[in-house]
Amino acid sequence: MKTTKDFLKMKQAKEKIAMMTAYDFPASKLAEQAGIDLILVGDSVGMVALGYDSTVPVTLEDMILHTKAVRRGAHDTFVVTDMPFMTYHISDEDTLANAARLIQEAGAHAVKVEGAGDVINRISRLTASGVPVMGHLGLTPQSVGVLGGYKVQGKDSAAAEQLIKDAKKVEEAGAFSLVLECIPKQLTEIVAAELSIPVIGIGAGNAADGQVLVYHDLIGYGVDRVPKFVKQYASISSEITEAIGQYVSEVKAVQFPGDEHSFTMKEEQLAGVYG
Ligand code: KIV
Ligand code: NA
């Protein structure tokens, strides 16, 4: 299994890191088979798998359930779990207790937290307590209410400068890696050059040290509309609806189940029934 040290070495060797989200057993199993470098149990689970319209309703219990399922599917892959909305803001004690559940009870190898400001101290406390932390700057979906929507961040020089400062603070606080979401590619290039920890981009251009995509977006699974930065490598939804549609027709036409999917008993046994 690759560890935080390996991700650092990959950055130094200019070897790109491929990360994706997974929320369950089959997805993590397939991701590991396909050679993914690390798996994120993202709180995007709330949107793509649970049907919420933001990540805000996702709970710690949700993240524990999904992390356990992911770990059962991927035995040899580093798993990072998102700390959900308001589970790392109330106090240091609360943050540490919540992270402990994700690590000890659910089996995550690291946690991810969004933002800078007060979160910087939480990153220090978590790291000092032995919890590897991934930061997340730029578009931070848990703050969608404050940001006023899902928009590209860091587009003007003041915002870009602030993001660079924040990124440095995330590194100084001890994070082993940083996600940059939905920012101009030139800004990603600056941050990736300024930081020694690997920077993983989503909607942040190809200068990042690695990329992350949401599983359902990547394979086109149950998502109607995807953001500009998503590349869909498959359209699984249409295969699924075709398969289910065919099943429905065959049931109605009594074509399924056929003999090859049915069991039989011996004639003499049948004769004995009610006999
Ligand atoms: O929850 C998630 O999927 C994420 C990635 C987009 C980085 O945080
Ligand atoms: Na997330």
Which residues are annotated binding-site positions? Answer: 43-44, 82, 112, 114
- Residues near ligand 1 (Cβ within 6 A): 21, 40, 42-44, 82, 179, 181, 202, 212, 214
The kind and range of the H/E element at 18 are strand 17-21
Cα(238) to ligand 1 centroid in Å equals 24
Annotated catalytic residue 172: no
Give yes or no for a contact between 108 and 80, defined as CB atoms under 8 angstroms apart.
yes
Q: Looking at this protein, which amino acid is placed at residue 127?
A: T
pLDDT the model gives residue 82 = 99
Mean pLDDT to the nearest integer, 255-259: 97
Q: pLDDT band at residue 274, thresholds of 50, 70 and 90?
A: confident
Q: What percent of the chain has pLDDT over 90?
A: 98
Cα(80) to ligand 1 centroid in Å equals 10
Helix extents (H) in 13-128? 25-33, 45-48, 60-73, 92-100, 119-128
- The backbone region for 51, taken as left when phi is positive above 0, alpha when psi lies in -120 to 50, beta otherwise, is left
133-138 and 78-82 strand pairing: unpaired
pLDDT the model gives residue 224 = 85
**Residue of 61, 93, 181, 194 marked catalytic:** 181
Interval 196-251: pLDDT, tens: 999 999 999 999 999 999 999 999 999 988 899 999 999 999 999 999 999 999 99
pLDDT the model gives residue 230 = 97
Cα(118) to ligand 2 centroid in Å equals 18
* Spatial distance between the Cα atoms of 133 and 175, rounded to a whole number of angstroms: 5
Residue 132 has pLDDT above 80, yes or no: yes
Interval 5-55: pLDDT, tens: 999 999 999 999 999 999 999 999 999 999 999 999 999 999 999 999 999
Q: What is the DSSP letter of 142?
A: G
* Spatial distance between the Cα atoms of 247 and 229, rounded to a whole number of angstroms: 35
pLDDT the model gives residue 91 = 98
Q: Which atom of ligand 1 is nearest to the CA of 200?
A: 7
Domains of the chain: 4-238 (3.20.20.60)
User: How much is the pTM?
Assistant: 0.96
The reply to whether ipTM tops 0.95 is yes
Residue 126 has pLDDT above 90, yes or no: yes
Q: What is the DSSP letter of 15?
A: P
